[in-house]
Amino acid sequence: MNSAFANTWAITKRELSSYFASPVAYVFIVIFLLMTGFFTFMAGGFFQRGEASLTSFFLWHPWLYLFLVPAVGMRLWSEERRLGTLELLLTMPVTAAQAIIGKFLASWLFLALSLALTFPVWFTVNYLGTPDNGVIIAGYVGSLLLAGAYLAITCMTSALTRNQVIAFILSVVICLFLILAGWPPVMDFLTSVGAPGLKDFVARLSVMTHFESFQRGVLDFRNVLYFASVIGFCLFTTGVIIRTHRAG
Amino acid sequence: MKNRKQLETVLYSGLGVLVMLVIAVALNAIFAGARLRADLTEDQAFTLSEGTKRILGRLDTPVQVRFYFSASAPDMDPALKTYAQRVQDLLNEFRALSNGKLEIKKFDPSPDSDAEDSANVDGIQGQQIQPPFGDPIYFGLAVSSLDNRAVIPFISPQRERLLEYDLARAIAQVSRPSKPVLGVMSGLPIFGGMDPMAMMRGGGQRSEPWIFVSELKADYEVREIPVTAEKVDDDVNLLVVVYPKGVTEATQFAMDQFVLRGGKLIAFLDPLSIMDARSAMGGNPLQAAAGSGATLDRLVKAWGYDFDLNKVVSDKQFQTELFDPRTQQPRANPSFLSLSGRGFDTNDVVTSQLGRVTLPFTGWFDGSAAEGLKATTLFRSSPDSQLTDKMMAQFGATEEFKASGKEHPLAVRLAGRFKTAFPDGRPVAPGDTNAPAGEVLKEGKADSVVVLVGDSDLLHEQNFARIQELFGQRIMLPFAANLTFLQNVIEQLTGDPDLIGIRSRATQMRPFTKVREMQAEAEIRYESKIRELEKSLQDTQQKLNEIQRAKADVSQQAILSDEQQQEILRFQQERAKVNQELKAVRKQLRQDVDRLENTLKWANIVGMAFLVTAAGLVIAFVKRQRTAAR
């Protein structure tokens, strides 16, 4: 069991160091920070709201992650496939599962780091007033899980193709679908198609409901389960896809 | 052969994916009803409180909750649907704690369905959420037990934090055996009565009862108790005292014993009652004012407080604009308070959702709760307040205002085990040989609650509502929450004591205190300057008016003298200049705050990003150095 963790961790480290070897990581972090900052203070009306909370900060995450997370994850498997190093990776004394989880963890940790670097906004809001810090913590947890879910989806699409751009676009589309699942026009469409049962199911798929639940300050098992299911399912599917390619 | 194996593998894996999907969905569905969560909010807003658990555990008769929600309405707002789910979750939790006594029935009132009829019978109206199209949406509930019924006509998402309280209260209300008995005592004719002023005016002899009395009669059994009563009946649950002018020691003793028996008391005292002054029989208004004021001196003192009948609290932050008949202009009267926001205890159920309460000429409570009692300040003045002599306040004199910096408590609630205010026992009137028998309590048999309010005028409808006569009905249109406050307090005191314990989950206002502080400081700095400028503006305007008037008087002379024309021009210029200065000062007020906001904004947006860039460059440089060709 120990070796399993050790292997996974080795992969994670390898992946992470490759991130920071190139300027891409820094560029990504800078862009992420600039955009969250911009949206929070300008578009989100942080000061206009007049309330000491990070609502205007978390509000944008589903939409920012929509583009930024696929950008991080698209190269995860596409690159290996393109360079032909996929087979090499899988011949090492490392199981496919360990490789998948290892790479996923690396990217997730990277995203976690980017998220953590937004701490000045937390300081700011505490300086200006007395926010409910428990609610903020729950917000960060929700945001991290959301990023993880998008990332898992991107892993999946990235394993499907050699072309990073296609992986990116596919991932954006799927994530967008998850965001819009609960959206009234979509709901209306489903009603008109005459599938009320399907409508309920689709509504529960929506990432927004689960994300917003964290914003209230509650860590609900059901919401965590949702994100865990998405991550679990996508990583499993990634494994299936890779095995298929390997067999081919 | 190899191809087939390949196909098999793919199929198997493809099937595997499908199976995984089904498992994932099923897992989520299985746990859809699970209530496993960590509430990280500061005030535990999403965790059931002890009070609720006790109320539910105590139920001995079956209670039925009928929950109406138009779940199948096609235009349903998903946010509302999510909230409805949370409401149902809460109901389920309630049921789990009720030992099977709570039954929940869910209805989906689509148009013309039986469910809709049931909703209407329960008094729940559909709301037009999305006008003009769309059927009305039902989102309410009715709680009933035996013959009692309590209804929440619309479960507003804005009231989410009070949802647990609303539900628990409805359940407590219906499981209560009988309507509470309110004893109401007053030194004013609140039940209607002989009104000497009305007599003089030539109107009828009787004056109308105050509207709040009729409102209370709708929900409670109301009993009039004279100001000279010697005993409060045992079956009175709550005593409401309004301006106890003429109260005797014997009556105060009766009230003391009533509280010690566990009875609850709300007393509206007042240093200056407008209604009292009004009904004074002609005579010297000054004398009337001096003689007005009512308190329960012995009781208030024993409970740890001093209520000064000669002072009124004036407050610059909560002053009200009233029409001044002398100058025919609206004028701010700092002794007529319109309390809002921070003047309330935002955490207490009673005051958390009040918008505005008007307190005309209110007194205050100086002191702290006596031993064994816990005090909660329900109303307080701002620090920009001072004590004004009531005579000065009544005649509108507001010369020197000096902010005391103290938040004067205007209404307090005392809870706990009370001790008697009459340690020497029943007060014996001179010449009274027959002392009535009866047990005399020295200390409370049970915990009790007393609410003391420093004003009584707030209860008269002229201070909180407009009355409209419509088809013979008197319709009350409130513009302040005075009556709501009274109803909240009464409900809190006559309802289940556990309801008082349910923490109020008021929507906590968390403003930018730093910004507010800076604004307040700036205002103080510039206030005198602004006042100076405004005064000079007023003077200039007045002079201008005088000249115009002079012009009009001497209308025979169609031509103005040169001098007069010059004067007019001068004053107009002066006025323009002062206006400019005023604008500049006002702009400066915001400057500090704006500067802070900008700094923070840019620091946040660019700061961290800049640091990361710098870090990246440093790392790259270091690496370059290390791997540089030697």
Q: Is the pLDDT of residue B116 over 90?
A: no
Greater confidence (A168 vs B214) lies with A168
Mean pLDDT of B2-30: 78
Q: Is the pLDDT of residue B205 over 60?
A: no
Round to whole Å and give the CA distance between B75 and B69.
Answer: 13
Interchain proximity A132–B17, CB inside 8 Å = no
pLDDT band at B473, cuts 50/70/90? Answer: low
How far from chain centre, in Å, is Cα B482? 9
Round to whole Å and give the CA distance between B83 and B154.
Answer: 13
The pLDDT, as a whole number, for residue B505 is 45
ipTM: 0.84
The pLDDT, as a whole number, for residue B215 is 81
Q: Is the pLDDT of residue B64 over 90?
A: yes
The pLDDT, as a whole number, for residue B625 is 84
Q: pLDDT tens digit string along B228-284?
A: 888 888 889 999 999 999 888 899 999 999 999 989 999 999 999 888 877 655 556
Q: Which candidate, B217, B397, B411, B400, places its Cα nearest to that of B300? A: B411
Interchain proximity B45–A244, CB inside 8 Å = no
The pLDDT, as a whole number, for residue B315 is 87
The pLDDT, as a whole number, for residue B506 is 43
| DSSP structure string for B573-593 | HHHHHHHHHHHHHHHHHHHHH
Q: What is the pTM of this model?
A: 0.65
DSSP B385: E
Q: Is the pLDDT of residue B218 over 70?
A: yes
Interchain proximity B41–A38, CB inside 8 Å = no
Q: Is B118 left (phi over 0), alpha (psi -120 to 50) or beta?
A: alpha
Mean pLDDT of B99-128: 84
Round to whole Å and give the CA distance between B267 and B300.
Answer: 10
The pLDDT, as a whole number, for residue B538 is 75
Q: Is the pLDDT of residue B489 over 60?
A: yes
**Least confident range of A27-36, B104-113, B234-243:** B104-113
Average pLDDT, chain B: 80
A195 touches chain B (CB under 8 A): no
pLDDT band at A101, cuts 50/70/90? Answer: very high
Contacts of B515 in chain A (CB under 8 A): 50, 128-129
Q: Provide the β-strand partners of residue B37.
A: A220
Mean pLDDT of B527-554: 73
| Angle B618-B622-B627 from CA coordinates, rounded to 5° | 150
Interchain proximity B24–A229, CB inside 8 Å = yes
Q: Would you state the structure tokens that stand for residue B523, as one six-digit string?
A: 């205002």
Q: pLDDT tens digit string along A224-241?
A: 999 999 999 999 999 888
Q: Is the pLDDT of residue B535 over 80?
A: no
Considering only CA atoms, give the Rg of chain B: 33
The pLDDT, as a whole number, for residue B129 is 64
Q: Which amino acid is at B275?
A: M
The pLDDT, as a whole number, for residue B165 is 79
Greater confidence (A40 vs B434) lies with A40
Q: pLDDT tens digit string along B402-456?
A: 778 889 999 999 999 999 998 888 887 665 555 555 678 888 888 899 999 999 9
Q: Is the pLDDT of residue B564 over 80?
A: no
Mean pLDDT of B470-491: 76
B-contacting residues of A 165-194, CB under 8 Å?
182-184, 187-188, 191
Q: pLDDT tens digit string along B593-627?
A: 888 888 888 888 888 888 888 888 888 888 888 87
The pLDDT, as a whole number, for residue B504 is 46
Choose the closest CB to A124 out of B31, B40, B604: B604
The pLDDT, as a whole number, for residue B75 is 66
Q: pLDDT tens digit string along B307-328?
A: 999 999 998 888 887 777 766 6
Cα dihedral B296, B298, B299, B301, rounded to 10, equals 110
Residue ranges of E strands in B9-138: 37-39, 63-69, 102-107
Mean pLDDT of B31-44: 79
The pLDDT, as a whole number, for residue B119 is 85
Mean pLDDT of B518-538: 71
Q: Which amino acid is at B489?
A: V
Choose the closest CB to A30 out of B31, B41, B613: B613
